[in-house]
Amino acid sequence: MTKIGIAVFPGSNCDRDVHHVLNNVIGVQADFIWHTKDRIMGYDAMIIPGGFAFGDRLRAGVIAAYSPIVQEVKRMAKDGLPVLGICNGFQILVESGLLPGALIMNESLRFVCRWTEVEVKNNKTPFTSKFAPRQTFGIPVAHGEGRYVANKELLRELRKKDQIVLQYSNDDPNGSSDLIAAICSEEGNVMGMMPHPERASESILAAQGSKNEAITIFRSLVSNLKPKAIA
Amino acid sequence: MGFLTEKELDYLEENLKRKANEIEQDIVGAEWSEHCSYKSSKKYLRLLPTKGSHVLVGPGYDAGVLEVGDGYVLTVHIESHNHPSAVEPFGGAATGVGGVIRDIIAMGTRPIAVLNALRFAPITGKGKAVAKSKWLFKNVVKGIADYGNCIGIPTVGGEVEFDPSFEDYCLVDVASIGFGRKEDIVANKADEGDIVVLAGGSTGRDGIHGASFASKALEEENRSAVQIPDPFLEKLLLEATMEAVKQGCVKGIKDLGGGGLSCCLSETSDNLGKGFDVELTQVHTREGDMTPNEVMISESQERMLFVTDTSRLRALQSILDKYEIRHSVLGVVQDHQDLVVRHGGKVVAEMPSHLIAHAPLADRKVKRPSYLDKLKSVKQPKTPANLGKVLLSLLSNPTIASKRWIYQQYDHEVGVRTVVKPGMGDAAVIRLDNGKFVAIKLDGNSKHCYLDPYQGTLGCLSEGCRNVICTGAEPIGVVDHLQFGSPEDPEIYWAFTQAISAVVDYCKFMDIPVVGGKVSFYNETAKGPIKPSPVMGTLGLIQSASHITRPALSSGNSIFVIGQTFPEMGGSEYYEYIHNITGGPVPNIDLPVDRKNGNAIQNLIKSGLVTCAHDCSKGGLAVALAEMSIAGSTGFEVDLDVVPSLCRRTDDLLFSESHSRYIVGTKQPEKVRKMLSSADVMFEQIGSAANAIEFAKGKKRLIKLTLKQLQTSFYSLEKVMQ
């Protein structure tokens, strides 16, 4: 039996949504893990969900990056287990150094919540392996600080090492460098994404003209879990 | 230094059989403010029908409770934060959202959606008033967005109206719905020896006299009466309360809102029928030297009062500790019915809770305003030569134009329940856990209500019902929010009584209970009172996903209109926005017709015969068709000659805001015709989907536009707000 952990911080608010999709839509066991937990055993992957961990005080994600659970997430990442950060989770992964670059205020200087379209640039990661090459799909964003920025050198590096996983297709909601919507670590087992796949995993929630194709992120993840954890 | 009148002081003294001391006067002053006591409105509110097949708990608590089957309940509440938002729009609007959310939490249910109804002075054109209005509008939206987004409750819908009567002011109404299990609804029962716990934010000097500030006209901008928002803390309170409810460690919950501890303690003690003995030095304060008066009337936000028993106190405390929420044992429940307030052990106030919680009702005079007759008939405008241009200009009117600029700033999808999203339907549709859906919409129309508060209010209710019916729902309850100027002005008070009569008449006739509400008076500035602005929130229940309907027109659709169009142009956007005319006959509601039309649409939708449905309201038939066209990216051809109508003028026919009208699209016109015929409603097939947008009168083409033109006008709010 494989199990996925969902990190919960004070202020996380997409934790229950991810929990619902994994348990009720996909049918894989996923549990909430409170941020003070400093030893995580028996989980095959971790998801850091969206929200406003610690109320975005100081800077989005920065306080959470120093919490006990993130130290465990770092260890799990090093061990090669899949780690997915969504929205605020992406911000936390960047702040904790697990992913390069930075996420800053949207170009519009406003929070933006709407559906957009992304294109799969790398379908070799544990989160995208079930997508066709260059597949495009609809997915919503909801963030104030989702503009991914990287300098030229880093961008070159990201491209070279195939770390750009998802790109906005022509419909950039926030002004990200290179239209980046998701990046992964060099090894590919840590991914951060600004759009919300958990909001686009059921057809009834899909916006007009879109489908629930984003569920493939979670399906890919589940198909790549190796049940090797010690209970 | 209370805000009590001479008469109220006498009443207090008579009942206490002594003079109230200064602290007691402050406590009573906060509670007897119009904002908390409803002293000018209570008499009339008792007339509202509050019982219905779905109603578990009616008005009078923090939120109304409706049963939706399978052991699940919905809670709903509406509030406004007008005065604070007019002074400090960001903080005022944000704390308004915080307050209404706490009401939902206090019932033991999880908030699943927030809506808002906003009213401002016009934002188009030039000048100081426009600049001020834009500033208020922008920051109110940002305040609502920041609070809802952070706490993770989707803001799923709303409505916005612009009218010159809101100059230097604004109305910010927020509603919230919650969802939970019937058994988790907090019982609110206490026994002697139970413990009173205060949890949440520290008590500071913000919001001092907030309730009293909101209970008189806005003459000076009192910023210290506005509270400071902290959505992060509210999120922690939300999660902690849900955990405490699930673990069964609370016997009563009450949120702290207007009037602070004064209102919270006296109302809770009165509701429980038990006395409280509380120690003010236990309150964690933000500043060291706060007086007992200040502690009692501070309206600092994100605070919650819990009543628990000694055996479960530890469990409650450890949940609050887990979320790092500050809390303190404030006092105990005692076997009397007084509120005893101590400071350092010494009793500083001692009064019967019932006395504090029940202000002597004010007797207000009524007088029908003389302006009404003057405005009854006005000189009709000349019919414009280019009606297509008029339609485009109505679509770009901020009251009608797409609110995309607003709702894209709100996280409207968190919680994975938002099925019909903002801008996509007549009402928001939210998924429940039992396979059913709730549709909810807020509606108001200050322009109609100014010219005829009775018919205007009926209209808001009818529009709300039409909106939820168009999504596939059956209306199951309403919340009313009645907003006026000073009740001490007999003409304004008359308008209030008219609005109440309309709610009573409509809801009784339709058999829809009023499950909650709010009255807000003293909405005036130096420039005068606002137009009467009742806002109605309508809830509908959708039984199956297959019933969910949107307004998007699609190719191959035949278009039907149900209901008759009358030359009722008073208060229409066409008269007010295009011609700058205030006056004329407002749309009248024929209750039996309204019900019959609504039932017919419900049956059409349930039979799966329609592909889209939309109600006709602001901007009339022409705007409604244009909105359906934009939503479905499909044009239409319509023959105005066949529209059931008593209008002699084409412009009246296009833009009249007559109620009880619906437009539906169908691929099975014969079946629809048959069903509508047997439903005995007035209807006609008026046209069909097409490429361009075309209105004709028989063979004569009247308006021809492109979809692109409609879109450009409809999505123009972004440009205005740049």
Q: Which of A59, A67, A40, A51 is nearest to A18 (CA)?
A: A51
Instruction: Tell me whether A139 touches chain B (CB under 8 Å).
Output: no
Q: B223 falls in which pLDDT band (50, 70, 90)?
A: low
Label residue B714 exposed, middle or buried (CB < 10 Å: 0-12, 13-18, 19+): buried
The residue type of B551 is P
pLDDT, tens digit (0-9, with 9 covering 90-100), for A40-76: 999 999 999 999 999 999 999 999 999 999 999 999 9
The pLDDT of residue A229: 46
Question: Of A13, A52, A113, which is closest to B412 when you measure between CB atoms?
Answer: A113
The answer to whether A113 contacts B415, with C-beta atoms less than 8 Å apart, is: no
Q: Which two tokens stand for residue B655?
A: 């833009």
The pLDDT of residue A222: 97
For residue B203, the 8-state DSSP code is B
Label residue A167 exposed, middle or buried (CB < 10 Å: 0-12, 13-18, 19+): buried
pLDDT, tens digit (0-9, with 9 covering 90-100), for B325-364: 999 999 999 999 999 999 999 999 999 999 999 999 999 9
Instruction: Tell me whether B405 touches chain A (CB under 8 Å).
Output: no
**DSSP assignments along B75-117, one per residue:** EEEEEE-HHHHHHSHHHHHHHHHHHHHHHHHHTT-EEEEEEEE
- Out of B35, B54, B327, B614, the active site residue is B35
Instruction: Tell me whether A21 touches chain B (CB under 8 Å).
Output: yes
Chain A CB contacts of B545 under 8 Å are 204
Task: Report strand pairing: B474-483 vs B558-562.
Answer: unpaired
In a domain, B167, yes or no: no
Q: B1 falls in which pLDDT band (50, 70, 90)?
A: very low
- Annotate B282-297 with b (16+ C-beta within 10 A) or e (fewer): ebebeeeebebbbbbb
Chain A CB contacts of B145 under 8 Å are 111
- How close A9 gets to chain B, by Cα (Å)? 10
- How close A200 gets to chain B, by Cα (Å)? 9
The pLDDT of residue B205: 86
Q: Tokens 């569920």 — which residue?
A: A215
Total number of domains constituting chain B: 1
Give percent of chain B above pLDDT 90: 91
The pLDDT of residue A227: 64
Nearest CA in chain B to A202: B416
The answer to whether A10 contacts B413, with C-beta atoms less than 8 Å apart, is: no
Instruction: Tell me whether B231 touches chain A (CB under 8 Å).
Output: yes
C-alpha B52/C-alpha B512 separation (Å) is: 7
The answer to whether A113 contacts B407, with C-beta atoms less than 8 Å apart, is: yes
In a domain, B66, yes or no: no
Instruction: Tell me whether A109 touches chain B (CB under 8 Å).
Output: no
pLDDT, tens digit (0-9, with 9 covering 90-100), for B464-507: 999 999 999 999 999 999 999 999 999 999 999 999 999 999 99
Provide mean pLDDT across the span B247-269.
Answer: 94
Q: What angle do CA A68, A72, A76 make, to 5 degrees?
A: 165
Q: Tokens 């996280």 — which residue?
A: B411
Q: A230 falls in which pLDDT band (50, 70, 90)?
A: very low
- How close A21 gets to chain B, by Cα (Å)? 9
pLDDT of residue B396 exceeding 80: yes
Chain A CB contacts of B323 under 8 Å are 10
Question: Of A13, A20, A111, which is closest to B235 when you measure between CB atoms?
Answer: A13
* Higher-scoring residue by pLDDT: B608, B215: B608
Instruction: Tell me whether B431 touches chain A (CB under 8 Å).
Output: yes
- Out of B81, B343, B547, B659, the active site residue is B81
- How close A84 gets to chain B, by Cα (Å)? 18
- In sign, the C-alpha dihedral spanning A8, A12, A14, A20 is positive
In a domain, B705, yes or no: yes
C-alpha B493/C-alpha B70 separation (Å) is: 43
CATH number of the domain residue B557 falls in: 3.90.650.10
Question: Of B146, B152, B431, which is closest to A13 when you measure between CB atoms?
Answer: B152
In a domain, B274, yes or no: no
Q: Which of B159, B160, B21, B151 is nearest to B95 (CA)?
A: B151
Interface test with A, best of B147, B413, B434, B547 (most A CBs within 10 A): B413
The reply to whether B448 belongs to the active site is no
List phi, psi (to 5°) of B241: -65, -40
Instruction: Tell me whether B552 touches chain A (CB under 8 Å).
Output: yes
Could you tell me which residues come within 8 angstroms of residue B708 by beta carbon, excluding any fewer than 6 positions away? none
The answer to whether B424 contacts A208, with C-beta atoms less than 8 Å apart, is: yes
Provide mean pLDDT across the span B41-55.
Answer: 91
The residue type of A6 is I
Say how many Å lie between the first and final Cα of chain A, rounded. 10
Report the mean per-residue pLDDT for chain B: 95
Interface test with B, best of A22, A111, A198 (most B CBs within 10 A): A111
- Is B651 within 8 Å of B390 (Cβ atoms)? yes
pLDDT, tens digit (0-9, with 9 covering 90-100), for A156-190: 999 999 999 999 998 899 999 999 999 999 999 99
Question: Of A56, A112, A142, which is closest to B414 when you measure between CB atoms?
Answer: A142
The reply to whether A107 belongs to the active site is no
Task: List Cα–Cα distances, B180 to A157, B69, B124, B268, in angstroms.
Answer: 50, 11, 43, 22
pLDDT of residue B140 exceeding 80: yes
**DSSP assignments along B15-69, one per residue:** HHTS---HHHHHHHHHHTSHHHH-TTTHHHHTTS----TTEEE-BTBSSEEEEEE
C-alpha B123/C-alpha B401 separation (Å) is: 13
Q: Which of B107, B70, B101, B271 is nearest to B185 (CA)?
A: B107
- How close B360 gets to chain A, by Cα (Å)? 43
- Out of A19, A35, A72, A87, the active site residue is A87
C-alpha B388/C-alpha B390 separation (Å) is: 5
Question: Of A10, A17, A111, which is closest to B415 when you measure between CB atoms?
Answer: A17
C-alpha B582/C-alpha B575 separation (Å) is: 7
Give percent of chain B above pLDDT 70: 98
In a domain, B605, yes or no: yes
The answer to whether A205 contacts B419, with C-beta atoms less than 8 Å apart, is: yes
pLDDT of residue B440 exceeding 80: yes
Chain A CB contacts of B231 under 8 Å are 52, 55
Chain A CB contacts of B410 under 8 Å are 111, 113
**DSSP assignments along A163-216, one per residue:** -EEEEE-S--SS--GGGEEEEE-TTSSEEEESS-GGGGSSGGGPPTT--STTHH
C-alpha B511/C-alpha B540 separation (Å) is: 13
Q: Which of B580, B561, B559 is nearest to B620 (CA)?
A: B561
Instruction: Tell me whether A204 touches chain B (CB under 8 Å).
Output: yes
C-alpha B13/C-alpha B20 separation (Å) is: 6
- Is B471 within 8 Å of B438 (Cβ atoms)? no
Chain B CB contacts of A10 under 8 Å are 232, 235-236, 323-324
Question: Of B145, B232, B545, which is closest to A111 when you measure between CB atoms?
Answer: B145
The CATH superfamily assigned to A3-223 is: Class I glutamine amidotransferase (GATase) domain (3.40.50.880)
- Is B615 within 8 Å of B666 (Cβ atoms)? no
Chain B CB contacts of A207 under 8 Å are 421, 424
- Annotate B94-114 with b (16+ C-beta within 10 A) or e (fewer): bbbbbbbbbbbbbbbbbbbbb
Chain A CB contacts of B416 under 8 Å are 17, 20-21, 198-199, 202, 205
H or E element at residue B387:
helix B387-395
- H, E, C per residue of A20-32: HHHHHHHCCEEEE
Q: What angle do CA B437, B439, B442 make, to 5 degrees?
A: 160
In a domain, B553, yes or no: yes
Nearest CA in chain A to B156: A113
C-alpha B470/C-alpha B611 separation (Å) is: 11
The three-class DSSP label of residue B637 is strand
Q: How many CB pairs under 8 A join A and B?
A: 85
- Is B655 within 8 Å of B623 (Cβ atoms)? yes
Question: Of A110, A113, A207, which is closest to B411 when you measure between CB atoms?
Answer: A113
Chain B CB contacts of A89 under 8 Å are none
Task: Report strand pairing: B110-120 vs B55-57.
Answer: unpaired
Nearest CA in chain A to B552: A208
The answer to whether B408 contacts A204, with C-beta atoms less than 8 Å apart, is: no
Instruction: Tell me whether A199 touches chain B (CB under 8 Å).
Output: yes
Q: B221 falls in which pLDDT band (50, 70, 90)?
A: low
Instruction: Give the number of residues written for chain B.
Output: 722
Question: Of A55, A198, A205, which is closest to B150 when you measure between CB atoms?
Answer: A55
pLDDT of residue B222 exceeding 90: no
- How close B461 gets to chain A, by Cα (Å)? 29
pLDDT, tens digit (0-9, with 9 covering 90-100), for A105-153: 999 999 999 999 999 999 999 999 999 999 999 999 999 999 999 999 9
List phi, psi (to 5°) of B285: -105, 155
* B30-44, B535-549, B633-647: range with lowest mean pLDDT: B30-44
